[in-house]
Amino acid sequence: MIHHDSLGVAVIGAGRMGADHVRRISEVTSGAHVAAIVDLDADRAKAIAAGVEGCAAFDDVAEAMASPAVDAVLLASPGVAHEAALLTAFDHDLPVLCEKPLTPDAASALRVLKAEQRLGHRRVQVGFMRRYDHEYLKLKSLLDSGELGRPLMMHNRHRNPSSPPDFTTAMLINDSVTHEMDIIRWLLGQEITSVTVMRPTSSGNAPQGLADPQFVVFETDGGVLADVEIYVNARYGYQVQAEAVCENGTARIGDRHDMLVTSRGRWGGTVTPGFVERFEEAYDREVQAWVDATRRGEVTGPSAWDGYAVAAVCEAGVRAQTEDRRIAVELADRPALYR
């Protein structure tokens, strides 16, 4: 339980996501302040910390976490650095909001899971922010109500305007479809048991060597079939849609028809340019929920188990890509801490 007025947060990683979270905690979130910024690039950490009153800059994660000013950690560094940072946080028994991925592979995620179990209580919330989006929350509530009967199928579309430099075919699964993996599991309350990846002819918009778009099919332990169209060079903007097909009806989100304009013989609306704009409210809600829970001495939201389960599905997905066949997901037994 945090007894003082404001939660001192160490933001680890001062790149695009880290800097955005520093802004969010400083300007949007109540009950928290940025106490420390950590980045291997000491100058970058200092530059961002200089704009935040009372904030210290570090280039060493362990040193920052040992600071008496730090009550909690927001982990926004690259995924390869997460395991070491999480284990250090556990040494100090610090609550962590860890941006996805929990870790880059299932084996390291399992190690984190075991380390958290040794603490005897949850300390990690994984940053699957779509669970905090108002449209996904509405869909979850409707499915949980049973009003439409059992879900039978789910259709998902995930389109980006363009892929960043050095984006690989495996990253379509590990960086993009990873969001659908979690949201399908959460919406349905089921685990994904297999992955199949199909590829049409690549778009002329895709960089040389990138197999884009792709069509991913998941099967769940509840008998649901869920597909994801992933297209990361769609050019026109950022768009995420989901439709649940149930026994007695369907429900779809992501059309974002906030305002339709009719003018000069045309009608239409706007498409958000990127994920930060589309999910800005969800990020705000996610961080506020984490701060509120941490101040109450609780850990809520997506758990380390969710991070591990998605890592296991990612591994099956990349194998399905490369081996061009249906791959079963290998999942450890779910520990009591996460039931």
How confident is the model at residue 4, as a pLDDT?
Answer: 65
- pTM of the predicted protein model: 0.95
How confident is the model at residue 199, as a pLDDT?
Answer: 96
How confident is the model at residue 258, as a pLDDT?
Answer: 66
Taking residue 173's Cβ as centre, other Cβ atoms within 10 Å add up to 27
How confident is the model at residue 3, as a pLDDT?
Answer: 45
Q: What is the CATH number of domain 7-130+281-303?
A: 3.40.50.720
58 beta partners: 38
CATH superfamily of 134-276: Dihydrodipicolinate Reductase; domain 2 (3.30.360.10)
Q: Which of 172, 242, 240, 179 is nearest to 206 (CA)?
A: 172
CA angle 32, 338, 282 (to 5 degrees): 40
CB 156 within 8 A of CB 184: yes
Ordered by start, the domain boundaries in the chain are 7-130+281-303, 134-276
How confident is the model at residue 257, as a pLDDT?
Answer: 63
* 265 DSSP assignment: T
Question: Measuring CA to CA, how many Å separate 136 from each of 86, 128, 146, 265, 322?
Answer: 28, 12, 16, 33, 31
Report the residue count for the chain.
Answer: 339
CB 126 within 8 A of CB 221: no
Amino acid at 289: A
Q: Report residues of the chain scoring pLDDT below 70.
A: 1-4, 257-258
Counting beta carbons within 10 angstroms of the beta carbon of residue 108, is it exposed (0 to 12), middle (13 to 18) or buried (19 or more)?
buried
